[in-house]
Structure 1
Amino acid sequence: MSWPEQPVLYEVNTAVWLGELSRAADRTVTLGDVPPSAWREVTPAGVDAVWLMGVWERSPLGLEMANADPGLRASFHEALPDLRTEDVLGSPYCVRRYVVAEEFGGDEGLAKARAELAVRGVRLVLDHVPNHVAPDHPWVAGHPEFFVRGEDGEIELGRDPYFPAWPDVLQLDAFAPAYRAAATATLGSVAARCDGIRCDMAMLVTNEVFARTWGRTPPERDFWPEVVGGLRERHPETVLIAEAYWDMEWSLQQQGFDFCYDKRLYDRLVGGGDVRGHLRADPEYQAELLRFLENQDEPRIAGELGQEAAKAAAVVIATLPGATLWHKGQFEGGRVRPPVFLARRPDEPPDHDLAAWYRRLLALAAEVRRGEWRLLDAQGWPDNQSCRRLLTWSWTAAGTTHVVVVNYSDRPAQGLLPVRVRRYTDLLDGTVREQDLSPLYVALEPWGCHLFAVA
């Protein structure tokens, strides 16, 4: 199944989701027998792919370590006050084997899930962790040459250059030719079971970062061009997504990734910053970014921003070029993000009105994001420069133009847009207006948004 140029992804925590479905059905539900109503829920109009996060077999040793860690246990109880023993599964990024966990239905169940998604015209995305594996992964005994070793000869714990090591995983050697060949084969085995692969902490195995982390001299060829090149020979259609930080998005795009996390935009939307300046980057570069407000690692947006601000941020994310990512529970206004070690989240009353708003936004965005994208500059007056608070852009395709206007601030804003129109419809509220051909005047309350279809 071919991919759209600007795919919309919906992330599902597999363990949590299947647990909720099982409790609702009073039976064990696996990926092989998810009811149609549940598939409809995670594939609303406008969604092109479902990312089933955490399907692989987790490490029993990693689970023991997680349960023995006081800090982790405290985070489990904070997210789930009525924590039970069976709620803790271990980390999905402490992978023992790249086979689907039996409790989720195994590889056979995953194949059925992929078929169900394909019937709906939706693609499947899975994870790959290139930097480390579980301490009981078969490679530890069978392929010691795949790992980084310390001066004492022991395999090093996995880590990045800025933080302490992760105690439950072992560090793979990104410079070892044997491991690079094995990584190519592993990626290929994952690609055979899905349509896209999200590579965890993809920047850690680049020559630049790995050399800095471990004080090693890098080989001539970088990790990803070698590994991705091998993958493309057998699976040219597989979309590769890089979890990317530290301003390495462009570098990873050049090394073979189709989309890279846009963490800078997230930080600016949530923490404050120059969003407009961020959007002045080259459109071709932006077309290969993945925009998000939530994922399994970031806090719930409902807990970070007020509802109106969160909706304004969602309009921004939904209507920009590139890929977009949405997180199960985000639409319903969930506030608790359970640690990925857990198989259950607390019960929270869903906001059905908010969920309906999000689903409508995604459907509208699928209509809007076509053709050429152009960042617009609103103009003000000598005594009123509130236009600087407006984020504005247009999409033009086959004679149809859509204009997005967001007042991303807690104060009113007005401005003139360089768009000459006779008639325009705000798709968000259905309002139809007419005016002469002068520039489009807008006035928005704090966090207000327009999504115009103009003529």
Structure 2
Amino acid sequence: MPRPYYPSLYQINTRVWLQALSQDLGHPATLDHVPDSLLDTWAKWGFDWLWCLSVWETSPTSQQVSQTFPAWQTEFQAVLPDLGAADICGSGFAIQAYDVAPRLGGNGALQRFRQRLADRGLKLMLDFVPNHVGLDHPWLQNHPEYFIAGTVADLESQPQSYYHLPDELGGGIYAYGRDTYVPDWPDTLQLNYTEPGLVAAMTEELVKISALCDGVRCDVAMLVLPDVFARTWGREAQSFWPEAIAKVQAAQPGFCFLAEVYWDLEWRLHEAGFDYTYDKQLYDRLRSHQVRPVREHLSREVKFHNQAVRFLENHDEQRAAVTFSFEVHQAAAIITYLTPGLRFFYDGQLQGYPHRISPHLGRQPQAPVNASIEAFYQQLLAVLQQKILRTGAWQLLTCRPAWSENGSWDNFLAWAWTDDQNWLLVVVNYAPYASQCYVDLPWPELAGESWWLQDQLSAAGYERQGDELRQRGLYLDIPAWGYHLFEFGQV
């Protein structure tokens, strides 16, 4: 069996990012204006994928909702105290058409941008939003049956959940896009997966998108699973993902599907054909600062980890520099990115930016670079380019008490990476105080030799005897939130 390959992905908020570039250039910037030097930097950092968030044409009416919805204005003004209407470009998930917005350069600019990425070994990922569309979508005129219809009674009793299409546009009452556990999205309309025509039309949208990029990140992908849709809407839905994915991959072999998914439904989407699924469970457990749930999660089968998307922030989550103190941030990043899976980084994370930018906004505030966070990530990105961390075999290791009545061993996480030539040991003390343990090592070849353990993330290095390592394990005494990445070499 070929070994899995663990790629790295970098997400940018395209509209925000091009607005900043426009300011630097002194004129409106499209994807054609992105400098080659920046693409070279992404390649040098070792990224395999660039995810360009919010490139599609969005709904003008949805933009008006974004500019006036009271709860959102409070959030926007907290980030941009000098907020203006032009800063609110509407949600990138309120899509009117799967064509690149003219202000970004249109489909032609995207195709040229994709080729420039490919010249540097980078693949392009774009958005697909299966659950809903913007308020101006042309299907409202041509195929109203593609939407969940409501009644006057629905609109009167639940005005927060239903939209009255203006009479001059055809009239009708339709449900807003819905997720069971959050308020309805009043800038979107819910698609009706009980309708076979809608399923066919969305499949064709996916086929169209697949000619423009190398993969898609599918927004709240679990919402259109038939049983989830039935629980949300009380209606029996058509199957979508297995058939749509198969059709796309028949047209574009190797096309990648990445799912945003929650509620323990990751396996369901793997089985439906997705290559990767969000691992928010790991993120939430790291954020809780409790090591045992993290260990339990990492004890899952390797197949799950191979298809997991590992992240510390994205456009939906708070910035890592705010969520974690610097010490915890480093430890959480070691756990997140030195375990298997797709390693997902968000624009601004590497610089320690503090402000989460809503997908409704087209501008971000000026923020200073956090030099300590930037230096840490530059070192981590360099380490992640090693072949052993891309294609090696990963194994969670057992930690034991350093002595009786010392329970701090339970604060440790340890794992090994092995390939044909190298061994790496990663250890983290995910606790706010110093801890001690022995860790059992998996390599019988240690016996009978002396070994130098060199930390790749610091100047620390230690000589140890292989027989003792095999018999007793490696003794560790690590300060609060401390970590090591040891490479083993014979003395």
Residue identity in the other structure for 1:434: E
What residue number does 2:458 align with? 429
Q: Tell me the TM-score normalised to structure 1 length.
A: 0.96
Secondary structure class of the residue paired with 2:264: coil
Residue identity in the other structure for 2:383: L
CA contact (8 A) 1:147 1:173 kept: yes
Secondary structure class of the residue paired with 2:46: coil
1:408 equivalenced with 2:430 (yes/no):
yes
Residues 261-410 of structure 1 aligned to structure 2 (within 5 Å): 261-273=278-290, 274-367=293-386, 368-369=388-389, 370-380=391-401, 381-410=403-432
Residues 84-95 of structure 1 aligned to structure 2 (within 5 Å): 84-95=84-95
CA contact (8 A) 2:100 2:107 kept: yes
1:16 equivalenced with 2:16 (yes/no):
yes
**Structure 1: gaps (5+ residues):** none
Residue identity in the other structure for 1:114: R
Mapped to 1, the partners of 2:440 and 2:183 lie a distance apart of: 51
Mapped to 1, the partners of 2:266 and 2:205 lie a distance apart of: 23
Q: Percent identity at matched positions?
A: 40
Q: Tell me the TM-score normalised to structure 2 length.
A: 0.89
Q: Which has the larger radius of gyration?
A: 2
CA contact (8 A) 1:15 1:54 kept: yes
Residues 71-150 of structure 1 aligned to structure 2 (within 5 Å): 71-150=71-150
1:231 equivalenced with 2:253 (yes/no):
no
What residue number does 1:176 align with? 195
Per the TM alignment, residue 107 of structure 1 is displaced from its structure 2 partner at its CA by 0.8
CA-to-aligned-CA distance 1:240-267 (integer Å, 9 cap, x gap): 0000011111111111100000011110
What residue number does 1:246 align with? 263
CA-to-aligned-CA distance 1:128-166 (integer Å, 9 cap, x gap): 000011111111111222222224563221102233321
**Structure 2: gaps (5+ residues):** 153-171
Mapped to 1, the partners of 2:33 and 2:21 lie a distance apart of: 10
1:444 equivalenced with 2:478 (yes/no):
yes
Compute the RMSD of aligned alpha carbons: 1.6
1:194 equivalenced with 2:230 (yes/no):
no
Residue identity in the other structure for 1:246: W
CA-to-aligned-CA distance 1:10-46 (integer Å, 9 cap, x gap): 0101011111111112222211121123323444422
CA-to-aligned-CA distance 1:180-210 (integer Å, 9 cap, x gap): 1111111111111111100000000001110
Mapped to 1, the partners of 2:56 and 2:45 lie a distance apart of: 28
CA contact (8 A) 2:276 2:308 kept: yes
Residue identity in the other structure for 2:398: D
Per the TM alignment, residue 383 of structure 1 is displaced from its structure 2 partner at its CA by 2.5
Secondary structure class of the residue paired with 1:298: coil
CA-to-aligned-CA distance 1:313-359 (integer Å, 9 cap, x gap): 11111111111110111111111011111111111111234213202
What residue number does 2:158 align with? none
Residue identity in the other structure for 2:407: Q
CA-to-aligned-CA distance 1:34-86 (integer Å, 9 cap, x gap): 11233234444221101001111111100111111111111111011111222
Aligned residue pairs total: 451
What residue number does 2:156 align with? none
Secondary structure class of the residue paired with 2:349: coil
Mapped to 1, the partners of 2:409 and 2:322 lie a distance apart of: 28
Mapped to 1, the partners of 2:256 and 2:4 lie a distance apart of: 10
Secondary structure class of the residue paired with 2:176: coil
Secondary structure class of the residue paired with 1:27: coil
Residues 59 and 224 from structure 1, CA distance in 2 versus in 1: closer, same or farther, beyond 3 angstroms? same
Secondary structure class of the residue paired with 1:156: strand
Residue identity in the other structure for 2:222: M
1:454 equivalenced with 2:455 (yes/no):
no
CA contact (8 A) 2:289 2:430 kept: no
Residue identity in the other structure for 2:424: H
Which moved further from structure 2: 388-397 or 412-421?
412-421
Mapped to 2, the partners of 1:356 and 1:35 lie a distance apart of: 24
Secondary structure class of the residue paired with 1:67: helix
1:417 equivalenced with 2:446 (yes/no):
no
Per the TM alignment, residue 224 of structure 1 is displaced from its structure 2 partner at its CA by 0.8
Mapped to 1, the partners of 2:417 and 2:32 lie a distance apart of: 40
Mapped to 1, the partners of 2:91 and 2:41 lie a distance apart of: 26
Mapped to 2, the partners of 1:225 and 1:243 lie a distance apart of: 16
What residue number does 1:26 align with? 26
Per the TM alignment, residue 388 of structure 1 is displaced from its structure 2 partner at its CA by 0.9
Mapped to 1, the partners of 2:191 and 2:36 lie a distance apart of: 40
Per the TM alignment, residue 415 of structure 1 is displaced from its structure 2 partner at its CA by 1.4
